[in-house]
Structure 1
Amino acid sequence: MRFVIVNGKKAKQYIIIVFAAFFAAALAFFGQEQLAVFSTKDGPRAIYRGEETGQRIALTFDISWGDHRALPILDTLKKEGIKNCTFFVSAAWAERHPEIVERIVKDGHELESLGYQFKDYTGFEDQQIRRDILTAQEKIKKVSGKTTSLLRPPNGSFDQRVLNVSEKLKHSIVHWSVDTKDWRNPGVNQIVKNATKKVKSGDILLLHASDSAKQTEQALPEIIGKLKSNGYSFVSVEEMIANTKAHSEEVR
């Protein structure tokens, strides 16, 4: 999975990706203690990290299919005493697995949206994006009682249109600043390294609890242990971004 910002023309896609990478690197270099976001000229934003103060980290898990990995991951988090991760779930998946959704909420984790169909929004018309976001919100609330306000677009792909539609529907787009690449199953040690080597306070870590992520459960105890030993505490994304000032760069 990779971070993609597109405007519908494939030739421009790679230019925007380079721009996004450059912007993220520039923020890291200057060490600005502000909420890091991408925004459009008129204000909608996509959040990919929080403030650098406070030694806080947000662990996030995406789930779009399967029922074999999520429960063992939840068991591991419970054993490690972690109660406030953020799970971004496909609503179509949530409909099929209400018992896992119930467990996520019962264990004290934050439940947010990956959309309904888990299809790239940048290939949708505005009305299709709107319908998918609202359908996902409705279905997730039906199985959990929770109303979503955060959205991670499928595969992390978004553009200015997606930002605009999401804002109108009162959903903030959440990306990530650290990609563990656990979905590639590169080995437990590599996942731990990806998650901890360059982590900073305010980072939002991307992990997965879909069945494709076969090594995440084994990597989690060491990830959590290393982050704790370095003085980090764990918060939900909502806690991470509450009462923060936004530093933004325009998405075209």
Structure 2
Amino acid sequence: MNFFVVLNGKSIKQALVIMIAAFFTAWFFYVENIVQIPAFSSDDGPKAVYKGEKDVALTFNIGWGDEKAEPILDVLKKENVSSATFFLAGSWAERHPELVSRIVKEGYEVGMLGYDYKDYTELEDAKIRQDILKAQEAFRKLNIKDIELLRAPTGHFDKRSLNIAERAGYTIVHWSLDSKDWTNPGVQLIVDNISKAKKGDIILMHASDSAKQTAASLPQVLDQLKKKNLKMVTVSEMIANGKSDSKEVN
């Protein structure tokens, strides 16, 4: 009888080892899939695009203020940058139609940053839908149609907001490289952060008044990207021209 118990204990231990190994193997493949699943091809629901395959996409968030956007547009024009994506809050766009008009006329892509600057993960479903619809209406009144890209106002999103955005006809766009310009760390640190850029990166910058050093850093940022032979494209061009990676959330 004792012999049987010893054998049984060994069997249990072996079974536990196998189960643990299987768990970590499954987890490895799960995490790998999160990183590598192409956007628009997942069977288990929408995901946020955060990276492409080639080129780089320079993106600017604007949620409030009327002082910093124009100098940034001036730098882009001076440096002959024709491709960038501006994610605009609907409430800001309503207050600054002349700046929105300039962004469009100079050929830059417009995406939505919601309407109010609220964290979608903290809102009820109906409130998320309302925020998206209010932004949609604001841009419709400005005669900007066919917007397909949406960035969560605070950068925070979950499966609920991804599903709501998809049903409204939008793809949520995150980023793979944060310039940290919103922390105002100094021009050189912003430049250093973006010097890490590589093919496929979607770069986050800001043109709200809280980002006080973005315009000053931009000439060096653009020079860094050119030295690395990284072509600047819009987010839509990046998605259309090759495989894009997506981000799954819990």
TM-score bracket, shorter-length normalisation: 0.7 to 0.9
TM-align CA RMSD:
2.3
Give the C-alpha shift of residue 40 in structure 1. 7.7
- Name the structure 2 match of 1:163: 162
One-letter code aligned to 1:242:
A
- Tell me, in whole angstroms, the C-alpha distance in 2 between the residues paired with 1:104 and 1:42: 36
> TM-score, structure 1 length as denominator?
0.81
Q: Which has the higher strand share?
A: 1
Give the C-alpha shift of residue 249 in structure 1. 5.9
Change (3 A) 1:63 1:39: farther
Change (3 A) 1:191 1:50: same
Q: Does 1:185 align with 2:184?
A: yes
Write the mapping of 1:146-161 to structure 2, written as runs, cut at 5 A: 146-161=145-160
8 Å Cα contact 1:39-1:45 kept in structure 2: no
8 Å Cα contact 1:137-1:147 kept in structure 2: no
Find the residue that maps to 1:207 and give its secondary structure: strand
Give the C-alpha shift of residue 243 in structure 1. 5.0
Moved over 3 A (4+): 37-41, 243-250
Write the mapping of 1:60-71 to structure 2, written as runs, cut at 5 A: 60-71=59-70
- Tell me, in whole angstroms, the C-alpha distance in 2 between the residues paired with 1:38 and 1:181: 29
Change (3 A) 1:38 1:250: farther
Change (3 A) 1:158 1:229: same
Write the mapping of 1:1-252 to structure 2, written as runs, cut at 5 A: 27=35, 35=38, 42-51=44-53, 53=54, 56-196=55-195, 198-245=196-243, 247-248=245-246, 250-252=248-250
Q: How many residues align?
A: 221
8 Å Cα contact 1:195-1:223 kept in structure 2: yes
Give the C-alpha shift of residue 66 in structure 1. 0.4
> TM-score, structure 2 length as denominator?
0.82
One-letter code aligned to 2:166:
E
Which structure 1 residue ranges, 5 or more long, are not aligned?
A: 1-18
One-letter code aligned to 1:233:
K
8 Å Cα contact 2:59-2:85 kept in structure 1: yes
- Tell me, in whole angstroms, the C-alpha distance in 2 between the residues paired with 1:70 and 1:161: 31
- Name the structure 1 match of 2:9: none
Find the residue that maps to 2:142 and give its secondary structure: helix
One-letter code aligned to 2:206:
H
Q: Which has the higher helix share?
A: 2
